[in-house]
Amino acid sequence: MPKTAKKFRTTIGIFALLITLLAIIATVMPATGKIPSDSEQLHNLSAAELSCRFGVATFGENQGAMLSSLGAGWYLDFSTSPINSAPENIDFLPMIRLNQVKAGDNVYLDDYTVSPPLTEAGLGAIIDDNLGATWIVGNEPDRGPTAHSSAQDDMMPDMYARAFHDVYEYIKTRDPSAQVATAGLVEITPGRLQYLDMISEAYHAAYNMEIPADVWTIHLYVMPEVTPNYMPNSIASVAVGTDPTLGMKSSDGTAQKCGNVNNDVYCFADHDNVAFFKRQIRDFRTWMKAHGQQHKPLLITEYSILYGYELDAGGCFLQDEYGQCFTPTRVSNYLRKTFDLVNGPGELRDTNLGMAVDDYRLVQQILWYSVYTPWVGNASNLYNSEALTVKTAVGAAFQAEMAERTPVPNLFAWNAASVAGFVISPATTATVTLSADIYNNGDANVNNPFTITFYADEAMTDSIGSVTVTGMSGCAHESMKVSVDWHDLTSGVYRYWVKADSGDLLVEGSESDNVISGVVLINPKQAFLPVLRK
């Protein structure tokens, strides 16, 4: 047996056990008290310098203070509790945790738990303190079956559909301005897409509609799910309730099986192959389009290199099929390549699959795992210890990538409504309500007030009315519907124009997409009766 394959086989059980402990670590990892100074930090970045495209996962109260020096624009900590030490100008995405009730490890019962509970003193109070937030419902519900599957939010697909519905309704009833996001699955494979199909079918059967997510999230790791004979391997394992024969197989140490995105093998060497990264994103976006979700945001809420870099007498403890280690240089290169894919021109934009209001990007935001963890994923740590005094080579690469970018907002006007109105007689006039959707598809939030004005002329000198907005998240993460009333209209056809930032106060990526026009018809029944000929 080759040395590489032997090393993998002797360590795979340890790796599988550790990877299921991630959720537990998030709840028990202690803070270290006083925050030390960062001897390598460039400076604490202001809100205007933070890119909403890139985030980072955190564990423990002390990690929040490091976010500004890293340049991360957003973070999550796998809970609904933001880190007190995190700067206010960095966005936090709260995560609600779920679990299906089980008898033993793998006998799933017809009930689930939710944390915090859907009560006034539980989630209700937290919603009230975070109005307008984006709530992620669950974490890797597809994880399992393993002896430690309860470390994540493992649920059968029909139970996740039920839990999402209950949490969604509770949040939206309490805060209509909130956004609700699906849980990130472990990865995107045929088996995981079957899991999503089963959720969709269960939701349709129970509620007669597609799952009403405002935002979709995924985790993106290239990890085998089954052995070559389709037995769950306890690494990614088989998605709960799905067909094991759909699983991506391990290589059994054979390098000749690696590097082909069209086969059914996920090698260890493929873990940082950007072709597989792109393939998973395209496969998920294809699924979204087929389910009427193309024009909604997609967030990668966890990704990095999970395979470790530990040295032993024979070299590194884990090697891929080519005998190569997951060195800091290798991890840093993967970070740079994926950052450029997400926030660069070209490959991750597609007019057939992407989000139209975000220049057809396939991914709106991504999040690196993590600032620091001593467990699975430590090869991707941005700091070298829990003390957070020195950045790793990967952390330096993260910070350098952020420093090289100049985030700017970009307001995008979309979907000016066509409106019809009526007058009873020539002596009367009509009032109609005009509306348009405004997005910020730049890579920085707008943190200052700006004005959106409706005009009656293309030169935009005859103002109908204006709306003042105090700020807006970037990365097309949210839309804002604005409206004004147009009075004293007589029978006829009218056009109107809408301009975002009509006072030209903001520095934007482009000024050419701030304007959109719509049409108003008054008494269309009289003016536009068709001529019929026999």
Q: CB of 153 within 8 A of CB of 139?
A: yes
- Work out the mean pLDDT of the chain and round it to a whole number: 89
> β-pairing, 311-312 with 315-316?
antiparallel
Is pLDDT above 80 for 416? yes
Q: CB of 348 within 8 A of CB of 361?
A: yes
For tokens 């937290």, the residue is: 126
Q: Count other Cβ atoms within 10 Å, centred on residue 527.
A: 11
Q: Count other Cβ atoms within 10 Å, centred on residue 268.
A: 27
How far is it, in rounded angstroms, from Cα 342 to Cα 54?
A: 9
Q: CB of 410 within 8 A of CB of 473?
A: no
Q: Which pLDDT band, with edges at 50, 70 and 90, does 20 fall under?
A: very low
Mapped onto helix, strand or coil, the DSSP state of residue 249 is strand
How far is it, in rounded angstroms, from Cα 356 to Cα 353?
A: 9
pLDDT for 48: 57
pLDDT for 47: 56
Is pLDDT above 80 for 58? yes
Say what percent of the chain tops pLDDT 90.
80
Phi, psi of 440 (to 5 degrees): -115, 100
What are the strands, taking DSSP E only, across 176-222? 179-182, 216-219
> β-pairing, 463-469 with 450-455?
antiparallel
DSSP class per residue in 368-433: ES-S--SSTTGGG-SBSSTT--SB-HHHHHHHHHHHT------EEEE-PPPEEE--SSTT--EEEE
Residue positions counted in the chain: 534
pLDDT in tens, 293-345: 999 999 999 999 999 998 877 778 899 999 999 999 999 999 999 999 998 77
- Please report, for residues 3, 12, 50, 233, 251, the alpha-carbon distance to residue 8 in angstroms, rounded to integers and kept in the order given: 9, 6, 39, 12, 11
Q: Which pLDDT band, with edges at 50, 70 and 90, does 526 fall under?
A: low
Task: Calculate mean pLDDT across residues 143-164.
Answer: 81
Is pLDDT above 90 for 206? yes
Is pLDDT above 50 for 21? no
Q: CB of 208 within 8 A of CB of 161?
A: no
Instruction: Round to the nearest angstrom and report the end-to-end CA distance of the chain.
Output: 84
- Please report, for residues 205, 216, 458, 474, 487, the alpha-carbon distance to residue 415 in angstroms, rounded to integers and kept in the order given: 32, 22, 17, 18, 21
Q: Count other Cβ atoms within 10 Å, centred on residue 206.
A: 12
For tokens 């990668």, the residue is: 300
Instruction: Tell me the domains of the chain and their CATH numbers.
Output: 3-403 (3.20.20), 411-527 (2.60.40.10)
Task: Calculate mean pLDDT across residues 477-496.
Answer: 96
How far is it, in rounded angstroms, from Cα 383 to Cα 396?
A: 9
Say what percent of the chain tops pLDDT 70.
88
How far is it, in rounded angstroms, from Cα 199 to Cα 157?
A: 5
Angle, alpha carbons 495-500-504 (nearest 5°):
120
DSSP class per residue in 270-337: GGG-HHHHHHHHHHHHHHHHHTT-TTS-EEEEEES--S---EETTEES-B-TTS-B--HHHHHHHHHH
Q: CB of 80 within 8 A of CB of 119?
A: no
Mapped onto helix, strand or coil, the DSSP state of residue 25 is helix
For 112-135, letters b (16+ CB in 10 Å) and e give bebebeeeeeebbebbeebeebbb
How far is it, in rounded angstroms, from Cα 62 to Cα 30?
A: 9
Strand order through the sheet with 179-182: 107-115, 95-103, 134-137, 179-182
How far is it, in rounded angstroms, from Cα 338 to Cα 53?
A: 12
pLDDT for 314: 72
How far is it, in rounded angstroms, from Cα 65 to Cα 393?
A: 19
pLDDT in tens, 63-91: 998 898 899 999 999 999 999 999 988 99
Q: What residues does 263 pair with on adjacent strands?
A: none
Tokens of 258: 């690696």
DSSP class per residue in 424-436: SSTT--EEEEEEE
